[in-house]
């Protein structure tokens, strides 16, 4: 414990790097990340830094700051190594963890609670998963947490006021330039409401400071929108209409869809739920105002997100930020008081919550071996490392519970999460066994051999465009009829099974199937196979 107290930030950064850095380039690119990477590549290759594009077409649905940052790394390190292309999001996630840690210190949390809150944050599922996936979400919320930190500093301190306000406003603007008003609505607004509900001193002064930050932030955040609106109004209007339409009529879910929000923290599900039991927790915390802030910040964030018709589980990512702070109050209570708790119910809840984690860590190596015995032998090294460390850390967790030294249990869970990330990601590759995998960039060898150009019909999939490595022109549809290019010979990517209708419409063309692009890492007979990632490739000749 003395080392933890002496070097809390060093421990926090070490755990964060263990959660984010190992095998950073190993996981397959998903649709959201592919969109960001394609746009970054086209910034560098085609010079589309302001008027951003996706597969050569205007793409204004998302602001460009994360893509600018990614493009700079791509310009330096190239666009073929996913480690370098994901390094920006790793660094931004480290920034999120750092400023969250500094923010909790501003509320005078006792002993190691700021460290514990930040450790809970980085080991929450959607946080470390988002920190390994280079899309927009982590950027917008990381910049907003930094903005909130400097805003709170301006509330608490008289010195350095101008600097704190300007920096807070600029970070606010960076958040806006990362994903529009998402973080303003889901993170900043609930924080501001909760803060002024709980901390009512210097109300007039602090509201004035808040207004200054808001003005600086909005001016910065709207700068790109204003510029593209002036010079490309038609495409801006189309993008805004499409994005706002999704909020109103896409992925519609009932208002109670997010009621299980605490489960999104992964391993902290039960502690997070207990920490949200307000009347139970309030008399057990030493800093009541800070707990009330964390509680209402969490609840208001969930309420505001619930009011939006479009709902997805990953949209709960901003809720995990205040919830990590809220959960830390329960952790801190157990660290200080587990040995003195007399209530059998309280002891039972604590033993269930953390005994369950211990038993999972203890038994999962045996379960994996039983279920995937043949596959395990394919990567015995990582399985052995995972199994040994998982069992050892489970023993530490149980030892801490039995001896009522809860800090041992808590830090064993933290390092267990690090072990999971370091070992399970490479071990998971034994599940991927698609013998029909065929990369889109293989099409270049066919194009070069026949000296042809490739087109795509019936829309494009960002993962395939990214894997292909260049723009694939889309064939326009007019009145539901496809217009084929003038080339006498060309390549054509189309959805699996769609070629028959094209043959019927264009009887004076010959369609010769060359390959099936399939980016799925699992075979067709396994759960998780995505038909969207498979396309048939034809050589089309005019008769």
| Whether residue 469 sits in one domain with residue 409 | no
pLDDT of residue 248: 57
| Whether residue 281 sits in one domain with residue 217 | yes
User: Which position has the higher pLDDT, 339 or 543?
Assistant: 339
Among 116-120, 327-331, 369-373, the range scoring the smallest mean pLDDT is: 369-373
What DSSP state is assigned to residue 474? B
pLDDT of residue 264: 83
Segment 349-361, tens digit of pLDDT: 999 999 999 999 9
Mapped onto helix, strand or coil, the DSSP state of residue 438 is strand
Residue that is last in its domain, among 379, 396, 431: 431
User: Pick from 407, 418, 286, 419: which is nearest to 3 by CA?
Assistant: 407
Q: Can you give the residue range of the structural domain that contains 423?
A: 341-431
> With 90 as the cut, is the pLDDT of residue 368 above it?
no
| Whether residue 16 sits in one domain with residue 54 | yes
pLDDT of residue 456: 92
Residue that is last in its domain, among 401, 431, 461: 431
When divided into structural domains, the chain yields a total of: 3
Q: What tokens were used for 246?
A: 């999704």
- Could you please report the per-residue DSSP string of 233-269? HHHHHHHHHHHHHHHHHSSB--GGGGTTGGGGGGGGH
| Whether residue 333 sits in one domain with residue 235 | yes
| Whether residue 126 sits in one domain with residue 154 | yes
| Whether residue 41 sits in one domain with residue 144 | yes
> With 90 as the cut, is the pLDDT of residue 113 above it?
yes
Segment 508-542, tens digit of pLDDT: 899 999 999 999 988 888 888 899 999 999 999 98
| Whether residue 201 sits in one domain with residue 69 | yes
Mean pLDDT of 278-283: 95
Indicate the average pLDDT of the chain: 91
Kind plus residue range of the DSSP H or E element containing 379: none
> With 90 as the cut, is the pLDDT of residue 459 above it?
no
Segment 135-153, tens digit of pLDDT: 999 999 999 999 999 999 9
Taking CA atoms, 47 is separated from 238, 321, 393, 470, in Å, by: 22, 36, 51, 14
Segment 10-68, tens digit of pLDDT: 999 999 999 999 999 988 899 999 999 999 999 999 999 999 999 999 999 899 999 99
User: Pick from 400, 413, 402, 423: which is nearest to 360 by CA?
Assistant: 413
Q: How confident is the model at residue 310 (pLDDT cuts 50, 70, 90)?
A: confident
Q: How confident is the model at residue 243 (pLDDT cuts 50, 70, 90)?
A: low
| Whether residue 216 sits in one domain with residue 283 | yes
| Whether residue 208 sits in one domain with residue 117 | yes
- Are the CB atoms for 302 and 193 separated by under 8 Å? no
Mean pLDDT of 404-411: 94
pLDDT of residue 276: 95
Q: List, in sequence order, every residue forming a beta bridge with 477; answer none if it has no partner.
A: 482
| Whether residue 108 sits in one domain with residue 39 | yes
Query: CA-to-CA distance for 194 and 386, rounded, in angstroms?
Result: 42
User: Over pLDDT 70: what percentage of the chain?
Assistant: 96
| Whether residue 448 sits in one domain with residue 380 | no
| Whether residue 371 sits in one domain with residue 464 | no
Query: What is the pTM (predicted TM-score) of this model?
Result: 0.94
């Amino acid at each position: 414990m003395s080392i933890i107290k002496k070097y809390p930030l060093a421990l926090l950064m070490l755990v964060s790097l263990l959660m984010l850095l190992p095998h950073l380039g190993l996981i397959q690119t998903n649709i959201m990340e592919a969109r960001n990477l394609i746009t970054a590549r086209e910034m560098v290759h085609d010079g589309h830094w302001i008027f951003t594009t996706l597969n050569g077409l205007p793409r204004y649905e998302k602001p460009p700051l994360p893509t600018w940052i990614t493009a700079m790394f791509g310009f330096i390190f190239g666009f073929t190594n996913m480690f370098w292309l994901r390094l920006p999001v790793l660094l931004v996630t480290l920034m999120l963890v750092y400023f969250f840690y500094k923010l909790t210190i501003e509320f005078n949390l006792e002993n190691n609670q700021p460290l514990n809150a930040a450790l809970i944050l980085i080991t929450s599922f959607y946080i470390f998963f988002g920190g390994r996936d280079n899309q927009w979400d982590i950027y917008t919320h990381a910049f907003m947490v930094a903005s909130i930190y400097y805003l709170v500093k301006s509330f608490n301190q008289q010195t350095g006021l101008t600097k704190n306000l300007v920096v807070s406003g600029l970070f606010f603007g960076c958040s806006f330039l990362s994903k529009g008003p998402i973080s303003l609505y889901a993170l900043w607004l609930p924080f501001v409401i909760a803060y002024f509900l709980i901390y009512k001193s210097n109300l007039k002064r602090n509201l004035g400071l808040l207004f200054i930050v808001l003005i600086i932030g909005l001016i910065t955040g709207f700068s790109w929108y204003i510029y593209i609106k002036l010079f490309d109004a038609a495409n801006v209007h189309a993008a805004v209409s499409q994005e706002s339409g999704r909020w109103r009529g896409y992925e519609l879910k009932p208002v109670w869809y997010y009621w299980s929000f605490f489960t999104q923290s992964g391993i902290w599900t039960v502690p997070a739920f207990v920490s949200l039991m307000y009347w139970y927790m309030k008399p057990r915390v030493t800093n009541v105002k800070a707990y009330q802030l964390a509680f209402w910040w969490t609840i208001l964030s969930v309420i505001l997100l619930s009011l939006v018709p479009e709902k997805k589980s990953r949209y709960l990512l901003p809720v995990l930020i205040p919830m990590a702070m809220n959960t830390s109050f329960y952790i801190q209570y157990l660290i200080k008081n587990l040995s003195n708790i007399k209530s059998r119910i309280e002891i039972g809840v604590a033993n269930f919550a953390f005994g369950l984690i211990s038993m999972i860590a203890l038994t999962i190596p045996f379960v994996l071996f039983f279920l995937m015995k043949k596959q395990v032998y394919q990567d015995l090294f990582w399985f052995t490392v995972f199994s040994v460390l998982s069992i050892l850390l489970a023993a530490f967790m149980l030892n801490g519970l039995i001896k009522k030294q809860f800090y041992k249990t808590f830090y064993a869970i933290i390092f267990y999460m690090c072990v999971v990330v370091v070992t399970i990601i490479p071990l998971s590759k034994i599940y991927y066994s698609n013998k029909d995998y065929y990369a889109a960039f293989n099409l270049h060898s066919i194009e070069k051999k026949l000296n042809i150009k490739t087109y795509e019909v019936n829309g494009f999939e960002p993962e395939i465009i990214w894997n292909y490595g260049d723009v694939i022109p889309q064939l326009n549809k007019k009145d539901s009829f496809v217009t084929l290019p003038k080339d006498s010979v060309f390549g054509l990517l189309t959805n699996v099974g769609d070629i028959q209708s094209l043959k019927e419409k264009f009887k004076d063309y010959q369609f010769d199937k060359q390959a099936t692009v399939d980016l799925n890492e699992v075979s067709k007979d396994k759960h998780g196979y995505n038909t969207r990632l498979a396309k048939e490739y034809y050589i089309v000749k005019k008769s």
